[in-house]
Every structure is written in C-alpha cells, then in structure tokens.
Amino acid sequence: MIADARGSFRRIRAIARRDALLQLSYQFNLLTFVSTAFFSAFIAFFVSDLVDSDLLEQYGGSYFDFVIVGLALTSYAGLGVAAFTEQNMQEQNAGTLEVLLGGPTRLGTLLAGGFVVPLALTTVEVAALILVGVGALGAGLTLQGVVVAAPIVALTVVNFCAMGIASAAVVLLVKRGDPISGPVYQATLLLSGAVFPIELFPAWLETIARLTPAYYGVRGMREALLTDVGFDGIVDELAVLAGF
C-alpha cells in the first residue's frame, strides 16, 4: 500500500513537472495570465462606484468586495469544470492520450497529476484578486478569514472537478470540441450570485440558484472573508457542499 502510494506520488510529480516546464516556456502567456487578475480587480473597483444596494449590507455594503470574492470563487469553479477537458484535448492533439491511458499509471493518478499546475495557476490568480481587491483596495483581509475560507474553496473545487471529469468523458466520446465546460461556467457565474445578489432574480430563478453548489461556495467564502463569523457561521454552507 505504501509503495503504491509512493509510486503514484512520483507519477503525479512527474506529470506536474512536465506541465510546469511547458507553462514556464511560454513566459509571455504566463505574465498575461497573472496581469489579467490585476486588471479585473481595478475594473471592478471603478465599476463598484456605480452600484449601491441594501442587499450588500451584510457584507459591509461594498459592491467591490462583493464581486471580487464572487469572481475569485468562480475562478476555482471554472478550473474544475475545464481543467480535465483541456488536459485531454492537449494529449489528443499531441497524440499521447492513448499511450497514457494504455500505460500502467492509474487513471486517478493521471487526472491528479494533470490538475496540479492548473490548480497552482488558478490559486495565483485568486490570490492576486483577493490581495489586490479585498486586501489593498477593499475592506481588508484577516488571517482568520483566509483560514475559514479554505474548506469552502476545497469543497467547491471537488464539486466542480466531478463536473469537469464528466465533461472530459464527453470529449473522449465525441472527439471534438467541448460542449459542456463553457455553458456550465457561464451558468455558474450567473446562478452563484458571483456578480450580483440572487435576491434580484425572479422567484423561480432564485430557487434554481439555491440548488447549485456554487451559490453556497460563493456565499460561504463571502461570509468567511467579509465578516467575522468564523467556522460557526459557515457550517450550513460546508454541510451543503459536502452533500453535493
């Protein structure tokens, strides 16, 4: 058992190292990826001056903080939905997918290894959004808030990884395009309340929003980072995400 675990870890590390070297070889793309988060934060900062709603009072009344946290959390949702599909399409284009799947490495190890670098890049993006947004331009961050937000992020990523693996399976079947990731991410951006409170929706659409895991992820992360509720204040959100 221990030997198998060590072998899986070595394979995950090797896949992640390959992906990291590929990413680092395109330094301009990497710089563009990181800088996008900063531009997004500053755009949201100026747009927030146009928004004023009583629905934001529970999060300090700032639309800027509200939307930055929402966009940060949905970045992880987008990662989970798209990462495995992109991984499969890259291997298909390189002609290496059949070799990998036909080798001795378990499928779970392949998926985990290919997820390491995308997860690290998204974490850099989210950190830039949160630090520049909430930390520097917004209400400010506390260590407690960051710690409380960690399990919310983890459970949200797990939920959307499940959707992403299903999406990757469809790509394997149809052999072309990605018919799932884009629509799922756009629906998530809308229904999670990332950009505006779902209380603004018609009643039927608000009900649908409350049936999606992203809504509880976004709400829990806002409560963790923008209020001082602590773990006791996000128990409901953690329970719902664990259920999903």
Residue 227 has φ and ψ, to the nearest 5°, of -130, 180
Contact 195, 44 (CB under 8 A): no
Residue 243, pLDDT score: 92
d(CA 121, CA 135): 20
* pLDDT tens, per residue, the chain with 244 residues: 666 667 677 777 777 777 777 766 666 666 666 666 666 666 666 666 666 666 667 766 677 788 888 888 888 888 888 888 877 777 777 777 777 777 777 777 777 777 888 888 888 888 877 777 666 555 566 778 788 888 998 999 888 888 888 888 877 777 666 667 778 888 888 888 888 888 888 899 889 999 988 899 989 888 888 887 778 888 999 999 999 8
Residue 161, pLDDT score: 86
Alpha helices in the chain (DSSP H): 2-25, 27-47, 63-94, 97-102, 107-130, 143-174, 181-191, 203-209, 213-226, 235-243
Exposure of 113 in the CB half-sphere (CA atoms within 13 A) = 21
User: Model-level pTM?
Assistant: 0.76
Instruction: Report DSSP state, residue 210.
Output: T
Residues 6+ apart with CB under 8 A from 142: 228
Residue 162, pLDDT score: 86
Residue 155, pLDDT score: 92
DSSP sequence for 65-106: HHHHHHHHHHHHHHHHHHHHHHHHHHHHHHT-HHHHHHSSS-
Residue 29, pLDDT score: 64
Q: Report the amino acid identity of residue 75.
A: S
CA angle 35, 83, 190 (to 5 degrees): 75
d(CA 231, CA 196): 24
Contact 191, 214 (CB under 8 A): yes
Residue 137, pLDDT score: 59
